[in-house]
Amino acid sequence: MTKKTWWKEAVIYQIYPRSFMDSNGDGIGDIKGITSRLDYLKYLGIDVIWLSPVYKSPNDDNGYDINDYQAIMDEFGTMEDFDELLAAAHERGIRIVMDLVVNHTSDEHKWFMESRKSKINEYRDYYIWREGKDPQTPPNNWGSCFGGSAWQYDQATDMYYLHLFSKKQPDLNWDNPKVRQEIFDMMAWWCDKGIDGFRMDVISMISKTKEMPDGEISGLYGNFEPYCVHGPNVHKYLQEMNEKVLSKYDIMTVGETSGVTTELAKQYAGEDTHELNMVFQFEHVESDGKYGKWTDRKIPLTTLKKILSRWQTELYNTAWNSLYWNNHDQPRAVSRFGDDRPEYRKISAKMLATCLHMMQGTPYIYQGEELGMTNYPFKDPEDFRDIESIQAYKEWCANGRISHEDFWPCLRFKSRDNARTPVQWDDTEQAGFTSGTPWIAVNPNYREINAKKETADPDSIFHYYKKLISLRKQNPIIVYGKYELLFKDSEDLFVYTRTLENKKLLVVCSFSDRETAFPIPEEFIGANCMISNTENTYDTQTVTLRPYEAFVLQKPDSPQ
Ligand code: TEU
Ligand code: CA
């Protein structure tokens, strides 16, 4: 049986600090900005903030390249600002989970600056160095996630270092016990400060095979996955981390584990495996690619249902799910899985929220999702700030592999910058995000879509999220009930039940922009409606669902 824990019952809100709220007019979101909006988050009802990285960083990848794990990025403020944020959050009963980026550091981290100096430097073995095949050729054909080779030549010692992301993000060598101890000490330092957990960046990539052969070519480079993802010692290292740090504190952990299967998740996040509390799986956001991850098409509903349902049933009573539609690396949920045309944006955003929040797992809301924020209307590659989007355009398009016409719709649909435009607070200049010039453009729809308007309107997406969150607090069945999918072959409807003891819920979500007839299952006729995104009633045998309608029925308790 699933043990009851606070993090299973929690709702998490992700903040990408650069784009959340700017307090001093330099156009960049900051920690004081976050503190100033805690009452808004309290009102929404969330329990935990996942804070994307706020550490010192040269910002090659917006803070995911860290050069000091125990200091705050200048643009974001000071350690005093952070302490104030943590205290102010705790006062309101909100916990803070830090982003832990320890697969790699910045190349400007002191460990790396030492490491590259000489082959006998005491930090040499903190990173992964190899001889080239010959002076002009890297050790193998692996490509990095952001384009180009995964190896960077370094003149000082005439060797290459491994970087699975940008060349300013060298991979740490987790096989070196000193590296592990440094990381564990740093984690304990943050825990002693009183933080409430870690979201662990690409934690499935920390262990690499000793042999590093060429990978299977996909595109211009070889694939490193079989050698670097879910590598030989990853579970051993996480168990060590758990024993030395995590188990000593009442904190929560979530691993970012791209490529994870349900089988692997049972190990990473099993009830009794002593590694992590939960992982992020990627199947539902990585099954739509056309050119690598790039695409302009929607995942078919039957595929989406199959994936999410498998995670629901496979992890039941053995491991724990995380639930999300989007984050700082993904396009906006309503544009991707819903329908952001003006007449459908609001209703489809509420439908997606219903569909996700009624499943088993800990739901994550990405900043602005509760407002129904949409993708940005990018016009040309100059509009991008994100290293991944900029590099992808160069690698796929500029060299003529694919025409601009074919690639552009995919790039603008999937670009991570869709999620990174500033949170739209009100209808004033720059959406109230900054009094200066924002580091990335505000979505021009901010006069229509903003927090001021959403909080004022009781029928808004914001208030719908607020209601879903409070329903979770009142109904253990939403957290602990058993999931079952109905109508699996429907391309229009996502329907499932949740069952706990003598209680049962029916969740019906239309993913269609047309009306759909839905036969209410016998046992739910006359049931209570817990929540709905329309004015419809559900007491007849067949209901005609509006486009993107969603509702939840609660069967009256059966006699015991
Ligand atoms: O993302 C790593 C990851 O799994 C990638 O697939 C990611 O989705 C990327 O967008 C490739 O398409 C994490 C962070 O969330 C991301 O922001 C960082 O850029 C990356 O690690 C490196 O730290
Ligand atoms: Ca600022």
Distance, in Å, from the CA atom of 78 to the CA atom of 224, rounded to the nearest integer, reads: 38
Contact 63, 52 (CB under 8 A): yes
Question: By alpha-carbon position, which residue is closest to atom 16 of ligand 1?
Answer: 329
* Percent of the chain surpassing pLDDT 70: 99
pLDDT for 393 beyond 90: yes
- Convert the pLDDT of each residue in 293-348 to its tens digit: 999 999 999 999 999 999 999 999 999 999 999 999 999 999 999 999 999 999 99
Tell me how far apart the 2 most distant CA atoms of the chain are, in Å. 78
- The whole-number pLDDT of residue 218 equals 84
Torsion, Cα 65 67 73 75, to 10 degrees, reads -70
pLDDT for 510 beyond 80: yes
Give residue 435 CA to ligand 2 midpoint distance, Å. 10
Distance, in Å, from the CA atom of 308 to the CA atom of 301, rounded to the nearest integer, reads: 11
Helix/strand number for the chain, H first, E second: 19, 22
| Strand-strand pairing, 362-366 and 482-486 | unpaired
Report which ligand 1 atom has the smallest distance to the Cα of 328.
17
pLDDT for 558 beyond 70: no
Contact 301, 494 (CB under 8 A): yes
The burial of 271, by beta-carbon neighbours within 10 Å (0-12 exposed, 13-18 middle, 19 or more buried), is given as: middle
Contact 128, 115 (CB under 8 A): no
- Convert the pLDDT of each residue in 131-172 to its tens digit: 999 878 999 999 999 999 999 999 999 999 999 999 999 999
Give residue 326 CA to ligand 2 midpoint distance, Å. 25
| Strand-strand pairing, 197-200 and 95-100 | parallel
| Mean pLDDT on 257-276 | 97
Distance, in Å, from the CA atom of 42 to the CA atom of 21, rounded to the nearest integer, reads: 16
E strand or H helix at 50: strand 48-51
b/e 218-231 (16+ beta carbons within 10 angstroms → b):
eeebbbbbebbbbb
- The whole-number pLDDT of residue 282 equals 98
| Mean pLDDT on 106-122 | 98
- The whole-number pLDDT of residue 267 equals 98
- Convert the pLDDT of each residue in 456-501 to its tens digit: 999 999 999 999 999 999 999 999 999 999 999 999 999 999 999 9
Report which ligand 1 atom has the smallest distance to the Cα of 145.
11
pLDDT for 373 beyond 70: yes
Nearest-10 crossing angle of helices 342-357, 461-474: 10
Report which ligand 1 atom has the smallest distance to the Cα of 329.
10
Give residue 329 CA to ligand 1 midpoint distance, Å. 6
Question: By alpha-carbon position, which residue is closest to atom 4 of ligand 1?
Answer: 258
| Mean pLDDT on 43-50 | 98
Residue 244 in tokens = 């030395």
pLDDT for 4 beyond 60: yes
* Percent of the chain surpassing pLDDT 90: 96
Distance, in Å, from the CA atom of 222 to the CA atom of 171, rounded to the nearest integer, reads: 18
Distance, in Å, from the CA atom of 153 to the CA atom of 169, rounded to the nearest integer, reads: 14
pLDDT for 560 beyond 70: no
Distance, in Å, from the CA atom of 299 to the CA atom of 338, rounded to the nearest integer, reads: 11
- Concatenated DSSP letters for 510-522? E--SS-EEEEPPG
Give residue 202 CA to ligand 1 midpoint distance, Å. 7
Supply the residues annotated as catalytic: 201, 256
- Which residues fall within 8 angstroms of residue 414, CB to CB, at 6 or more apart? 293, 294, 295, 296, 330, 331
3-state secondary structure of 363: strand
Distance, in Å, from the CA atom of 283 to the CA atom of 300, rounded to the nearest integer, reads: 13
Contact 361, 320 (CB under 8 A): yes
Q: For CA atoms 47, 370, 314, 240, give the dihedral sign.
A: negative
Ligand nearest to the CA of 27: 2
Flag the least confident range among 113-117, 178-182, 399-403.
399-403
Please give the DSSP secondary-structure letter assigned to residue 555. Answer: P
For tokens 């489809």, name the residue: 348
Q: What is the band of 125 on the pLDDT scale with cuts at 50, 70, 90? A: very high
Distance, in Å, from the CA atom of 359 to the CA atom of 550, rounded to the nearest integer, reads: 14
Nearest-10 crossing angle of helices 234-244, 177-193: 40
Mutation probe of ligand 1 site: the residue of 15, 60, 99, 201 with most atoms within 8 A of C-beta: 201
Secondary structure percentages of the chain, helix, strand, coil, to 5: 35, 20, 45
The burial of 491, by beta-carbon neighbours within 10 Å (0-12 exposed, 13-18 middle, 19 or more buried), is given as: exposed
Q: What number of other Cβ atoms are within 10 A of residue 556's Cβ?
A: 13
Mutation probe of ligand 1 site: the residue of 145, 166, 327, 385 with most atoms within 8 A of C-beta: 145
Contact 242, 234 (CB under 8 A): no
Q: Which residues pair with 531 in a beta bridge?
A: 552
- The whole-number pLDDT of residue 220 equals 87
Report which ligand 1 atom has the smallest distance to the Cα of 293.
12
Q: Per this entry, what is the length of the chain?
A: 560
Give residue 260 CA to ligand 2 midpoint distance, Å. 36
- Which residues fall within 8 angstroms of residue 531, CB to CB, at 6 or more apart? 354, 464, 467, 468, 471, 551, 552
Among the residues of 415-548, which ranges form H helices?
417-420, 451-456, 461-474, 476-480
Residue 368 in tokens = 């602005």
Q: What number of other Cβ atoms are within 10 A of residue 88's Cβ?
A: 15
| Mean pLDDT on 15-25 | 98
Question: By alpha-carbon position, which residue is closest to atom 14 of ligand 1?
Answer: 201
- Which residues fall within 8 angstroms of residue 174, CB to CB, at 6 or more apart? 180, 206, 207, 233, 237
Amino acid 76 reads: F
Residue 54 in tokens = 């706020």
E strand or H helix at 293: none
3-state secondary structure of 128: coil
Q: What is the band of 559 on the pLDDT scale with cuts at 50, 70, 90? A: low
Please give the DSSP secondary-structure letter assigned to residue 58. Answer: -
Give residue 393 CA to ligand 2 midpoint distance, Å. 29
Amino acid 476 reads: P
- Convert the pLDDT of each residue in 214-235 to its tens digit: 999 988 899 999 999 999 999 9
Name every protein residue with a CB atom under 6 angstroms from any ligand 1 atom.
61, 64, 101, 145, 165, 201-202, 256, 258, 293, 328-329, 388, 416
Among the residues of 229-341, which ranges form H helices?
234-244, 262-268, 283-286, 301-315, 333-336
Report which ligand 1 atom has the smallest distance to the Cα of 65.
23
Distance, in Å, from the CA atom of 191 to the CA atom of 98, rounded to the nearest integer, reads: 10
For tokens 């805690």, name the residue: 38
pLDDT for 414 beyond 70: yes
C-alpha radius of gyration, the chain, whole number: 24
